Every structure is written in structure tokens, then in C-alpha cells.
Amino acid sequence: MRILYFAWLREKIGVGQEEFAPPAGTLTPRDLALVLSARGPGYAAAFADMRLIRCALDREFAGLDESLGAAAEVAFFPPVTGG
């Protein structure tokens, strides 16, 4: 799947997007964040406080505990601040 990061998540992780094949058993965005956190200190810092993380599955806002289903694109970002 393609994973996208925005705002300070992108800065902490160091890339805006990447391809990643999550291991079996990665069922939700929260599971995925946990798996990603183990990839390095930047990831761990980005996902340190999950209360600050929002996500989208295939460009639709989704809850962290929703099923990833067949999503091809998962995005992680802080709460939006437009306007």
C-alpha cells in the first residue's frame, strides 16, 4: 500500500510518502502506526502520541480503529487547520 504523511508527521518521518507492505495481522490504521513506529526513531516520534493522529483511507477520513480493508492509500496527519 501507499502511505502518506502530512505536516509534522512528514517532517519527523522525513518522507511524504512511501510504499509499504504491512505484515499479516495489521488490521487497522492504529495497528499500522504501531508497526511503522518500530521502523526508526523518526517514526516513533511521529506516532508517539496517537491522540494527535488522524487518518484517511483512500482519501476518506477514517477512524484509527476502522478496518484497513482493501485500502490502497493510507494517510496519517495531525488534526486539520485550514481556513
List of residues contacting other proteins (CB under 8 A): 4, 6-8, 56, 59-61, 75, 77-83
Give min distance, CB of 56 to other proteins, in A. 6
Cβ proximity to other proteins: between 23 and 80 the closer is 80
Consecutive H or E run containing 19 = strand 17-19
Give min distance, CB of 27 to other proteins, in A. 23
Q: Is 9 helix (H, G, I), strand (E, B) or coil?
A: helix
Give min distance, CB of 23 to other proteins, in A. 26
DSSP assignment of 23-53, as one string?
A: PTT--SHHHHHHHHHTT-HHHHHHTS-GGG-
